Structure 1
Amino acid sequence: MSNPKRILILGPESTGKSTLTEDLAKYFGEPWVPEYAREYLDKLGREYRYEDLVKIGKGQVALEDKIADKAENYLFCDTDLRVIHIWSEHRFGKTDPWVFEQIKERKYDLILLTDTDLPWTPDPQREYPELEMRNYFLDLYTKLAEESGFPYHLISGNKEQRLKKALEII
């Protein structure tokens, strides 16, 4: 079994995380881990609650670990538990201890932090189209990337520029 480099794509909503993740996976011919929350929330049929966030987090971790078995050199992860932490604190003022434990335990070789310079794309699961709020969340994600101890880089520009920069970094 291989031990692929795990590359986390992290950032506020509507900043091109999924696009970059898919583009990198396609370029390298490696698997990528989608954002489990999308599937979970699509099926939920109600507003999410605090308790849902741990379920989403556990689903994300399980999905990442399952897909990691298929990766040879790289595993591209569209989000991680830092997103659960940020949303939990923002919406409910608290984060489940399990989320913190997992954030400490799970290792990434690189974090690519997506900038807010792309135009907002409406989506039923997105909540904050205002650039001020998007930058507020970018500051929070940047702080978490710094605290992680993993190398991280801010990825800006259009789709092609982002892919080019990410490839240079990798």
Structure 2
Amino acid sequence: MTAPDPYSGWDSLLPREREKLTARVILVGAESTGKTTLTQDLVQHYRSRGGVWANTLWVSEYGRDYTVAKIAELGIGWEDDAEFRSADWTSEDFAVIALEQQRLENAAASAGSPVLFCDTDALATQIWERRYLGNESTAARDALPDLPPRALYLLTDHRDVEFQQDGIRDGEQFRATMTQWFVDELLIHGERGQFVRGNREERLAECIRLIDEVLAERPPVS
């Protein structure tokens, strides 16, 4: 006898109901630790399951697009020989990034499958604000003091991925500190999280196991 599909009623939900019920899986970590690759691998896996999962969505890192735009405003071209291009950050920038990242996340949650993958979030924006402007700058947190419930945070370990400079990353020397800051923040906020270690295949397999556990715990939508 075939087990009933716990998400048989998902497609009939209104967008605002999906936004509330979607399991939001957030990938965070220091620079060049494999977040985007892992996010895309997870999306591909869940889409391949078909049915309601075929519409699994992901939210990219808005802060990266914002950074590229700010660097362009400074007149620094990608054809220049600079190894690292730095933007001139203000507190307002991080508030703008946090708000837009959350808007994109909410929009995707209202339109996709029962699971949503986010390549960073507004909490990560708060940590990057601390990195660039110090502990006293709290614009991102002030703009979004409360975030929607997260099903799971996946923290990519910097020790398993070789650092690759793409022209806007700070540098390898900051990765260990940033990893620890993410650990500290997730503990402070009491979020459900897991360190992600290993090669690409090992990371993907472990994350699928963790996410399936989270999905199995959620009430059916039928």
TM-score, normalised by the number of residues in structure 2: 0.71
The 3 A distance-change label for structure 1 pair 14 and 36 is same
Cα distance in 2 between the residues matched to 1:95 and 1:168: 38
> In structure 2, what is the equivalent of residue 35 of structure 1?
61
Cα distance in 2 between the residues matched to 1:161 and 1:73: 24
Q: Tell me the secondary structure at the aligned position of residue 172 of structure 2.
A: coil
- Out of 149, 163, 167, which is 1:120 matched to? 163
Q: What is the correspondence of 1:5-44 to structure 2 with a 5 Å cutoff?
A: 5-29=23-47, 30-44=56-70
Contact map agreement 1:85 1:95 (CA 8 A) in 2: no
> In structure 2, what is the equivalent of residue 110 of structure 1?
152
| Residue correspondences, number | 168
Per-residue CA deviations over 1:131-150 (Å, capped at 9, x if unaligned) read xx211110100111112222
Deviation at 1:101, TM superposition (A): 5.9
Q: Tell me the secondary structure at the aligned position of residue 97 of structure 2.
A: helix
Cα distance in 2 between the residues matched to 1:23 and 1:8: 14
> In structure 1, what is the equivalent of residue 137 of structure 2?
95
Contact map agreement 2:99 2:144 (CA 8 A) in 1: no
Q: Tell me the secondary structure at the aligned position of residue 105 of structure 1.
A: coil
Based on CA coordinates, which of the two structures has the bigger radius of gyration? 2
Letter in 2 for 1:28: Y
Cα distance in 2 between the residues matched to 1:59 and 1:101: 11
Letter in 2 for 1:108: R
Deviation at 1:96, TM superposition (A): 3.0
Deviation at 1:115, TM superposition (A): 0.3
Percent identity, aligned pairs only, is 30
Cα distance in 2 between the residues matched to 1:107 and 1:125: 31
> In structure 2, what is the equivalent of residue 81 of structure 1?
122
The 3 A distance-change label for structure 1 pair 55 and 101 is closer
Contact map agreement 1:81 1:103 (CA 8 A) in 2: no
Alignment RMSD (CA, Å): 1.6
Gaps in structure 2 of 5+ consecutive residues: 1-13, 48-55, 75-86, 212-222
TM-score, normalised by the number of residues in structure 1: 0.91
